[in-house]
């Protein structure tokens, strides 16, 4: 009789333990970032950043001639970004005719994973024009003066 109980327990216990012990943890969704270039002017660039499954997000713009930032750099020194939605951002006060690196990072649930994207954008050339004037005095008398004005570009 003891052998029968032992055999029943030997076959039933692994099944019971398997059913109660295999409680899979809820799957953590991985964060994602989509980064799309927009318009550029002589002193600003506009881009759209979209994050999903994120608890925190940040962005940064640096000249492309500098070392590109890492995800940790962007989190520590970047500007906050709204999470789990698209946000259109304009980075102002940039130099004309300059390439820039745009970096966006999204932090996932439980701060365990990051999604990191970069794109390169350039500002346009300075609008407007410049010229030089040269004024030369030609004749000066007691009641008049004549001069020559020369403009060059």
Residue-wise over 88-126: b if at least 16 C-beta within 10 A, else e?
ebebeebeeebebbbbbbbbbeeeeebbbbbeebebeee
Write out the two tokens for 107.
Answer: 């932090």
For residues 34-46, average pLDDT: 97
| pLDDT tens by residue, 67-98 | 999 999 999 999 999 999 999 999 999 999 99
Q: Confidence class of residue 143 from pLDDT cuts 50, 70 and 90?
A: confident
Give pLDDT, residue 86. Answer: 97
Residues of the chain with pLDDT > 70, as a percent, come to 76
In this prediction, residues 48-76 reach a mean pLDDT of 96
Kindly tell me the number of DSSP H helices and DSSP E strands found in the chain: 2, 9
Of residues 10 and 69, more confidently modeled: 69
Does this model's pTM top 0.75? Answer: no
Confidence (pLDDT) at 2: 58
More confident residue, 112 or 95: 95
Q: Which residue has the higher pLDDT, 86 or 134?
A: 86
């Amino acid at each position: 009789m003891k052998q029968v109980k032992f055999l029943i327990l030997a076959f039933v216990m692994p099944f019971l333990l398997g059913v109660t012990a295999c409680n899979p943890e809820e799957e953590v969704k991985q964060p994602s970032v989509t980064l799309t270039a927009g318009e550029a002017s002589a002193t600003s660039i506009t881009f759209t950043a979209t994050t999903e499954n994120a608890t925190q997000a940040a962005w940064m713009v640096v000249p492309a001639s500098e070392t590109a930032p890492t995800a940790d750099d962007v989190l520590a020194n970047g500007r906050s970004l709204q999470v789990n939605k698209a946000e259109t951002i304009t980075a102002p006060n940039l130099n004309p005719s300059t390439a820039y690196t745009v970096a966006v990072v999204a932090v996932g649930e439980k701060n365990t994973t990051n999604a990191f994207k970069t794109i390169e954008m350039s500002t346009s050339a300075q609008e407007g024009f410049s010229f030089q004037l040269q004024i030369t005095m030609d004749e000066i008398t007691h009641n008049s003066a004549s001069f020559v004005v020369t403009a060059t570009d």
